[in-house]
Structure 1
Amino acid sequence: MPETTVDHLVSDDETAQRILADDGSVAPAPVQGESPRPGGAGGLLRTLASKYALIGVWALMALYFYSQVPDTFGTSGTFSSIFGSQQVLVFLAMSALVTLVVGEFDLSVAAMMGITATVIPVLAGVHGMDIVLACLLGVGAAVLAGAVNAFFVVVLDVSSFVVTLGMATLLTGVAQLVSGSTIVSVSSPGLAKIAIGDVLGMPVSFWYGIALALVIAYVLAWTPLGRAMVFVGANAEVARLAGIRVHRVRFGAYVTAGLLAGLAGLVLVATVGGFDSSTSNSYLLPALAAVFLGTAVVQPGAFNPIGTMVAIYFLTTGIFGLQLLGYAGWIQNVFYGAGLVVAVALAKVVRDRSRAS
């Protein structure tokens, strides 16, 4: 049996409402974490408020910062800084989200990103390997790490916290060994072009993040695989009895998390041209904070990619605005740490209210 995350996303009663279609596949079920729609205008307003309140808070926060520092916050440069600089975090958050949807935790996603971002410049920049091959090997290292996580957690039934925390520490050490505990870099115009080329005034990697979120949203909402993932995350034993190959779904989630983390590392190297392996773990908290805060948007109480995207830019706006107001660099850790605590608490409150309604 897999471990639960911070409570199950839906209750067993909700899980029991899911039925099998005539062909044995999982039939569409009520959206995870979504309560029955109340009638009337008041009910509609409450529904909208529960799904999009964070967006309203985001707008009010932006207006406040604009009123305080209009000459700096209200510029196109600020817009680009907020929306055009979070592509790595988007990929990393989606990596964490994939495992959370199926009821698992993966604390090694930042380290998997780090091993990719280290291997690529070491192979291509230090040893002169072809950049394409270096990228494939770098991403492959993250996928392999995801598969190892899956083997220990799914096949051997070891605690996901222990396995992924150990893997994170192991990969960080390996990255420091490979890089000599120094910043490694690579100069490749072709690699840079795939990340920082301009498309409609934004880096092309921004659009990669948008596309990734939409693809994951489509898979979770409209495909049998996505419904199976949600079902497994709700109650793995019931999903098994319903005929879903639970181990295969969980194993695939860990491997996919490794792939997305590896792509995050690739985007990072393509964007900045190098990486400091000692900084990998600093990316984990922002990714988890965004994923949990995203459960308060679009599908209250459920991990969802669109909500995660909103949460990423909400948090970035808050940090950037506070920095413009003169707060020191420590504000980032404080904001992300507080955001994670509030997000987890808010997600629990939303789930409890959904179950009670």
Structure 2
Amino acid sequence: MTQTRRADETTGPDVIETGQADARPRVPDRRRAVDPRRFVSRYAIVGIWALMTLLYAGLMPHTFLQVATFRTIFSSQQPLVFLAVSALLTFVVGEFDLSIASTLGLSATIVPVLVTQQGWSLGLACVVAILASSLVGLINGLLVVKVGVQALIVTLGSSTLLLGLASLISHQATVSGLPVSFGDIALHQVAGLPISFFYGVALALGVGYLLIFTPLGRHMTFVGANREVARLAGVGVDRIRIGAFVAGSTVAGVGGVLLVAAAGGFDSTTSPTYLLPAFASVFLGTAVIRPGRFNPIGTLVAIYFLATGILGLQLLGQSGWIENAFYGAALIIAVSIATIVRRRTASS
């Protein structure tokens, strides 16, 4: 017996017809649409962000309430945005990649080394840096998916290897000397903010669209939810897992290029410091917009939420230790929240 669906032109809701049976209108669940608990669960972090901003404003009205303060918050997180989205792409398919920070660092090191020491053109050096990053993701993906080595072992090992390679080609020194004009690809001002801020927003929106509105994105989510069921449904599970590693590393490589363009040089030994903030932001982002799910818009909100908290504490005189402590606590809390939300979702 076949089912067809048509829209009732008089009453509005969909009507289901089964053979010659009477049509029954589907009444939307209005209680769920206006459930305040769902609203709070989606936007609690945004509310806390607003309250935190008001608190800092009250404590430091002449320091925090400055255009320069908010410009600092929104103009200094672009490498972290790219790295967090890089991590998210593997998390969505049920994998993780500990090498993304070292991949970003390798990319940010290759560009100035090739340009200042080997005489390459800027464009070619950037292409090589991004391709090298993609190759790292491909190798990681093949080892995890095809060989069957655990992702923890593969990506931890490749992270250390890449850190060593970056130190080797940079001779354990900060490599600088890039043309000032190169910085325009990251620092050109648009509406008072560097253009790299808008790159990050565009990246988050693009990945969000991919995950929600495209078959590939739905397949990625399906693979992350239940790999074996996705395989039985005909989804190319292995191809999607390897592709996630490649895409994540490529995004990290692009982030490295933007990072070195903005800074004019890079110290390869600093790349591991980006990993914890990226992971904290991705997990905290699961408490925003789509609770219990990895989503790039939530990640973007989490990044600037954490940046606001840290900058406010630094302005209050808590410097040095506060950044690591704040990100570490945020990661623990975010993972705990994500676990609780998923359990509630599974039991409902």
Aligned partner of 1:288 in structure 2 is 279
Aligned partner of 1:334 in structure 2 is 325
Aligned-pair CA distance for 1:129 = 1.1
1:172 to 163, 166, 182: 163
Distance 2:210 2:46 in 1: 24
Aligned partner of 2:308 in structure 1 is 317
Kept after mapping to 1: 8 A contact 2:88/2:282: yes
Aligned partner of 1:244 in structure 2 is 235
Aligned partner of 1:263 in structure 2 is 254
Larger Rg: 2
Greater relative contact order structure (CA < 8 Å, 6+ sep) = 1
Q: Percent identity?
A: 54
Aligned-pair CA distance for 1:190 = 3.4
Aligned-pair CA distance for 1:188 = 1.8
Aligned partner of 2:54 in structure 1 is 63
What letter corresponds to residue 223 of structure 2 in structure 1?
V
Answering whether residue 68 of structure 2 is matched by residue 77 of structure 1, we say yes
Deviations 1:81-136 (A, max 9, x none): 00111011000000000000000010000000000001101110222211111111
1:212 to 203, 208, 214: 203
Aligned partner of 1:161 in structure 2 is 152
Distance 1:53 1:147 in 2: 38
What letter corresponds to residue 249 of structure 1 in structure 2?
I
The total of aligned residue pairs comes to 321
CA RMSD of superposed structures (Å): 1.3
Distance 2:37 2:321 in 1: 36
Distance 1:350 1:74 in 2: 35
Aligned partner of 2:184 in structure 1 is 193
Kept after mapping to 1: 8 A contact 2:108/2:129: yes
Kept after mapping to 2: 8 A contact 1:196/1:271: yes
Distance 1:45 1:194 in 2: 43
1:42–1:105: structure 2 CA closer, same or farther, 3 Å change rule?
closer
Residue ranges of structure 1 left out of the alignment (5+ in a row) = 1-36
Deviations 1:9-42 (A, max 9, x none): xxxxxxxxxxxxxxxxxxxxxxxxxxxx975389
Aligned partner of 1:33 in structure 2 is none
Aligned-pair CA distance for 1:356 = 2.1
User: TM-score w.r.t. structure 2 length?
Assistant: 0.90
Distance 2:296 2:309 in 1: 20
Aligned partner of 1:96 in structure 2 is 87
Distance 2:170 2:268 in 1: 7
Distance 1:189 1:183 in 2: 17
Kept after mapping to 2: 8 A contact 1:38/1:44: no
Residue ranges of structure 2 left out of the alignment (5+ in a row) = 1-27
Answering whether residue 110 of structure 2 is matched by residue 144 of structure 1, we say no
Answering whether residue 216 of structure 2 is matched by residue 225 of structure 1, we say yes
User: TM-score w.r.t. structure 1 length?
Assistant: 0.88
What letter corresponds to residue 231 of structure 2 in structure 1?
R
Aligned-pair CA distance for 1:201 = 1.0
